[in-house]
Structure 1
């Protein structure tokens, strides 16, 4: 469409599309590896792409929130030890919950005595083919080999191989991607809505070119700040259907946006076994989620306590002494009076 008063020749119809927002994770990148392949015929690669898992952490808000919530609860109940700090434990918990693998290194001083355990990023730590040594590989051609016996490997066992752990939430990744896709679709809808919300189809012969130009200018000026304006058009001898407004999309697009968001959210929380009321999910009914205190207690017993036991057993077995201990997960001001009554 041009702004000139006359058109020399009919113009061909033109259609175009808007560029799509890029998803955090593409369709196939997550499952690049279905087995533990050897890098340089020496180091085992993880069965699931570590880069894909780390990027998935930013794909879904409920996926990231559940992992961060459990990591913070575990770190807050951890009892610091001279050989293991709370900040290091938080890093271990996040790695374990994201990758199902976590690594601690015990460096030695000049006398050969063990020093405080340090954290090694699970995203770049790999196991040697002899399953005894470990290496740090930030790039495929850069390897730092750790001293034999200096790495504590904490893993969530897999049923298909015993080299690395595999996250239990893999079954919910499609729901995370669906949740992200629904958000991107709705964002694209609102972004593009200000560019092409309708088609103004005019067949009324009464208006002249000056009237058409005035109408075009009025429509152009309605965009931007204050764009929700009424438009008056007067055509004394106009026909009944001389002007038609054909919407391209409705403001309430029937894409089941809310249902998709809610169902995919429930799948993610079910995979992480986190009650929705504990991570700020707003109930969709008047009754709510029920007693949040009882939900927190069940969550502490069924999810937090097994994680504490598993982490402590792996670290203490490696250290040869009890350096990893956890307090019982209690609700301040709620569980203390109950504990006193039970004594």
Structure 2
């Protein structure tokens, strides 16, 4: 029976993203019983913007489409609509504060960040959470909340893209893995095999340490394997572990998730910055824009027009686009 010794290590496994922000928790009151807690993580929704370039870009594109045909007024400024339009795209809801004059008449609407707003248990009461753990309580009916309808509850809005968040996170995972793959380098990610070298135990330990420390910050680690008393022709051999062909799988995942993200936002590729893969391009962009305005922009404007009905006056107005062969205005 041969005396065989083996010395090997791949290092600790790297954890993958464990994000449960899409779990629907239901609507409950806070510990103090003053306001309702949102059913999903609003911080999580905000952080998904940085997980994928298409997702974040499309959210801003929708905001810009709402702003493009907006007519500012004394009650609603361009800056305020820009803020609440992005809130609505990201969170599926927005909040405005009503500012009144000495006679109690509304004179201006101000933006309140959706991520910090909570609906109180008392009718018409809202709270704004502050970074120090305290909150501001607004007077009854001082705040207007407009939100997307959710079939499971009527307290908070839920964005339309909720069903596609897993595609956004998968795209992020694939992108991070690919980045680590290339940062890992061609000289790393291998098994360093030695056999019948005649090295002393201390020398083998030093060699093993050097190999294991040569790993990069990526997903592939290097390992030293020593086998004594063999009939190997080569005392030293390097066995690659990483396969550069894996990059094809990364590209396939990125392409699939990109299509899913465009679908979840109902976004035409030509309007999202995607480069056409053929010389034919994406067709007549003006006609595409007209269809997009008819099917998407018009409905996206409706929630903001609800403010007119609530306040009993025209505070938000959008002009009709004029289409021609040269531009869209």
TM-score, length-scaled by structure 1: 0.77
What's 2:11 paired with? 17
What's 1:292 paired with? 285
Gaps of 5+ in 2: 198-210, 216-231
CA distance, structure 2, for counterparts of residue 253 and residue 52 of structure 1: 30
- 1:45 is displaced (CA, Å) by 1.1
Q: Deviations over 1:166-209 (max 9, x none)?
A: 1111110010011001011111211223561444546698xxxx
The change in CA–CA distance for 1:126 and 1:140 in structure 2 (over 3 A counts) is farther
What's 1:235 paired with? none
- 1:247 is displaced (CA, Å) by 1.5
1:306 to 292, 296, 299: 299
1:152 to 144, 153, 158: 144
2:120 to 117, 128, 131: 128
- Are 1:38 and 2:32 counterparts? no
Q: Deviations over 1:261-313 (max 9, x none)?
A: 1111111111111111112111234433333222222111100011112321x
- Are 1:106 and 2:95 counterparts? no
The change in CA–CA distance for 1:296 and 1:187 in structure 2 (over 3 A counts) is same
What's 1:90 paired with? 82
SS of aligned partner of 2:146: strand
SS of aligned partner of 1:334: coil
What's 2:109 paired with? 117
What's 2:313 paired with? 321
Higher relative contact order (CA 8 A, sep 6+): 2
What's 1:252 paired with? 245
- 1:155 is displaced (CA, Å) by 0.8
SS of aligned partner of 1:294: helix
Q: Deviations over 1:235-270 (max 9, x none)?
A: xxxx98666442111222166111111111111111
Contact 2:21 2:40 in 1 (8 A): no
What's 2:254 paired with? 261
What's 2:264 paired with? 271
Gaps of 5+ in 1: 1-9, 206-218, 224-238
- Are 1:138 and 2:130 counterparts? yes
CA distance, structure 2, for counterparts of residue 186 and residue 332 of structure 1: 44
Contact 2:123 2:140 in 1 (8 A): no
Query: How many equivalent pairs are there?
Result: 300
CA distance, structure 2, for counterparts of residue 18 and residue 283 of structure 1: 42
The change in CA–CA distance for 1:20 and 1:29 in structure 2 (over 3 A counts) is same
Contact 1:21 1:184 in 2 (8 A): no
The change in CA–CA distance for 1:124 and 1:286 in structure 2 (over 3 A counts) is same
SS of aligned partner of 2:127: strand
CA distance, structure 1, for counterparts of residue 37 and residue 310 of structure 2: 23
- 1:152 is displaced (CA, Å) by 1.7
SS of aligned partner of 2:128: strand
Contact 1:200 1:246 in 2 (8 A): yes
What's 1:56 paired with? 48
SS of aligned partner of 2:104: coil
